[in-house]
Amino acid sequence: MSDYKKFLDEKQFTAPPVGIANPPDLSPLLFPFQRDLTHWALRRGRAAVWADCGLGKGWIALEWARVVSEHTGGNVLILAPLAVAQQFQREAVKLAVDPPTLCRDSGDVRPGMNVTNYDRLHNFDSEDFAGVVLDESSILKDYTAKTRNALIAAFERTRFKLCCTATPAPNDFTEVGNHAEFLGAMTRAEMLSMFFVHDGGSTQDWRIKGHAKDDYWRWVCTWAAMLKKPSDLGYSDDGYELPALHIHENVIDTDTAMARDAGMLFAYEARTLSEQRAAKRASINSRVKAAAELANNSSEPWLVWCELNDESAALSRAIPDAVEVKGADSVEHKERAAIDFIDGRIRVLVSKPSILGWGLNLQHCAHVAYVGLSHSFEQWYQSLRRTWRFGQEREVNCHVITSSAEGRIVANLQRKAADADKMAAGMVVHMADITRSELRATSRTVDLYNPTLEMTIPEWLKTEVA
């Protein structure tokens, strides 16, 4: 037996459960897979639910938070992206549970469930909460991010923790390590040294040790569950079929004048990032005009995404009934615009994926336009899935408007999407069998303890038995 195999036999790599051994009954409105995921997360106490957009992570989070609050007699804080806090209140009404209190600072906290935005985290004392939920927990992705470090430090001693996201990138080992560290399963450094070897000169190039692959995924499955659709874990997909998605590419030809505005002598495809930015700025008017024609010749709701402030301002001028949401706007304006769009008081919403591209349920809208694109697959995926998600009843038409000089941004995003789908399918295969058995478990998981050293007890601790 190899030393490594002996080491594995002596130490099981599991994240010990710290939760509720026998969780109570949950809302009958939950689908079976949602109910079992919630029960599993409650038994674990600290868990991650990596479920695709529209699979009900909001309901899972609400039921988890409700039970934790009732079980502990303490408060639970739900942290969410911009404007999603109000959405949690609405989802609670649908679930027939008391809505969480919308909080801006610690003075607003009330007994039970409370919800706020990530940008208000500094206004709260984590010691006031028995549990915490991170909605869109991929915010932990960046190892050096200020928010990531603040979250891990603030809730280090919190017993109950739940992470929910649709884009966990399980093959991004830095992000997995950040989730594990937040949940107290293992520090990122411990995870890398335990299961990985370092490749190349980059500090981010890590690969799983060949003999540790099964143990790594078995360990991940003790605290995380991943699914793209219910059938991934053996449940029915009834009610969870995505409608068709039609992507229409509208490429604006770059003429000589536009090329010169971009600093090019002739019109050619941009190769560097600086050339792409210049080409993008030179084609703003043409791209805005194309998007405005689409939105103005329709009575349907439209969601128009952009990347540059100049694009956003030009779009709001070109589309008379559009409402613009930009980074400099107040939090109150951003939240109100999102709610008004959902309720139909706004027909056309113009913003950036980095502002409103996370967590919102916008499936009332089936028409999307991208007037500006970045190379970020996560921003593309998240912003597109605001409308194209489970619960969308119509086919979604997505118009991508670029200039011929911008380069192959769309092709690059499509390649990344194919890679992500392949990765997700592989992760589901790795995790499905273990996760299924974990979900249906009726008893707590306990790490075996096999002592190998004799304990020496000081004489002063020994008590003579009469």
pTM of the model: 0.83
Q: Return the top range by mean pLDDT from 150-154, 257-261, 302-306, 382-386.
A: 302-306
* DSSP string for residues in 291-306: HHHHHHT--S-EEEE-
DSSP 8-state assignment for residue 200: S
At residue 75 the predicted structure's pLDDT band, cuts being 50, 70 and 90, is very high
In order of start, what are the domains of the chain with their CATH numbers?
3-239 (3.40.50.300), 245-416 (3.40.50.300)
d(CA 141, CA 345): 35
Look at residue 460 in the predicted model and tell me its pLDDT. 61
Residues 6+ apart with CB under 8 A from 234: 432, 436
Contact yes or no for 423/170 (Cβ under 8 A): yes
Per-residue burial over 320-358, b if 16 or more Cβ lie within 10 Å, else e, is eebbbbbeeeeeeebbbbbbebbeeebbbbbbbbbbbbb
List the beta bridge partners of residue 313.
Answer: none
Average pLDDT over residues 97-109: 95
- Burial (CB < 10 A; 0-12, 13-18, 19+), residue 212, is middle
Question: Which residue is listed with tokens 């028409």?
Answer: 367
Q: Percent helix, strand, coil in the chain (nearest 5)?
A: 45, 15, 40
Smallest Cα–Cα separation from 382: which of 91, 142, 166?
A: 166
Element (H or E) spanning 109, and its range? none
- Burial (CB < 10 A; 0-12, 13-18, 19+), residue 63, is buried
Look at residue 451 in the predicted model and tell me its pLDDT. 53
Is residue 396 pLDDT above 60, yes or no?
A: yes
Average pLDDT over residues 155-167: 92
Average pLDDT over residues 277-284: 79
242-272 confidence digits (pLDDT tens): 999 999 988 887 654 444 444 554 444 555 6
Contact yes or no for 383/349 (Cβ under 8 A): no
User: What separation, in Å, do the N-terminal and C-terminal C-alpha atoms of the chain show?
Assistant: 47
